[in-house]
Amino acid sequence: MFELPVNERLKLELLEPGHASELYMLVDANRDHLGTWMPWVENTKSTEDILNFIKSGLNNYAMRNGFQLGLRFEQKLAGVLGLHYIDWDTGATEMGYWLDKKLEGKGLMTAAVSALLEKLFNHYKLNRVEIRANPANTRSRAIPKRLGFLEEGMLRQTGMNAGERFDMVVYGLLKEEWQLRRED
């Protein structure tokens, strides 16, 4: 299935049912780290829940409406990077990601996002990639900033986590901006 090498130690691979227990163990080991920012974590209570997430990602992949990829660092599952949807009419998509707490600070997600952007703009011929983050999520915001995304605005009270509403800051990157950056 879909695999994307990032460098000699890191690759992206389409998540499949056989990854469910490995992925569940990773989520379970990272509950506090992930749950602060992502509402689905508290509802993920079993391998079965993860299996449903993987199947939904595969269904999106089959429908050409997004996908969920595992980051595999030195053979071990290290996190997830996915597209929530693909709008082929406008050529737009939105990315989401998370990483094992133990592997933060090495540039893994920035490298993975960068490799995926290359694929999205040059192979899939998409035109716009969006990333949304809670304004307090400094590490998440640093990724689009590092990769040349423009901070486009704030969506007020668009998120909900543990009963609390929160704003989301929107970053966008266009194909022409990515290509100009690659030529530098």
Ligand X SMILES: CC(C)(COP(=O)(O)OP(=O)(O)OC[C@H]1O[C@@H](n2cnc3c(N)ncnc32)[C@H](O)[C@@H]1OP(=O)(O)O)[C@@H](O)C(=O)NCCC(=O)NCCS
Of the ranges 17-25, 48-56, 64-72, 139-147, which one interacts with ligand X (CB under 6 A)? 139-147
Is 110 a binder of ligand X (CB under 6 A)? yes
The residue (of 64 and 147) whose beta carbon lies closer to ligand X is 147
Rounded Cα–Cα distance for residues 159 and 173 (Å): 21
The residue (of 63 and 136) whose beta carbon lies closer to ligand X is 136
Min dist CB 158 to ligand X, Å, is 12
Please report the beta strands in 92-162, taking only residues with DSSP state E, as ranges in sequence order: 92-99, 128-133, 150-161
Rounded Cα–Cα distance for residues 133 and 126 (Å): 21
The residue (of 55 and 106) whose beta carbon lies closer to ligand X is 106
DSSP 65: S
Is 160 a binder of ligand X (CB under 6 A)? no
The residue (of 12 and 17) whose beta carbon lies closer to ligand X is 12
Question: Could you give the dihedral angle defined by the CA atoms of residues 105, 108, 109 and 110, in that order, rounded to the nearest 10 degrees?
Answer: 90
Q: Give the CB-side neighbour count of residue 40, counting CA atoms within 13 A.
A: 10
Is 166 a binder of ligand X (CB under 6 A)? no
Those residues whose C-beta lies under 8 Å from the C-beta of residue 136, and which sit 6 or more positions away, are 166
Helices (H) and strands (E) in the chain, counts: 6, 8
Is 33 a binder of ligand X (CB under 6 A)? yes
Of 28, 37, 127, 128, the residue at the interface with ligand X (CB under 6 A) is: 37
Of 44, 60, 93, 140, the residue at the interface with ligand X (CB under 6 A) is: 140
Q: Which two tokens stand for residue 154?
A: 């704030």
Of the ranges 3-11, 83-91, 115-123, 137-145, which one interacts with ligand X (CB under 6 A)? 137-145
DSSP 141: H
Kindly list the residues in this chain that would bind ligand X in the complex (CB under 6 A): 33-34, 37-38, 97-99, 104-110, 133, 137, 139-140, 142-143
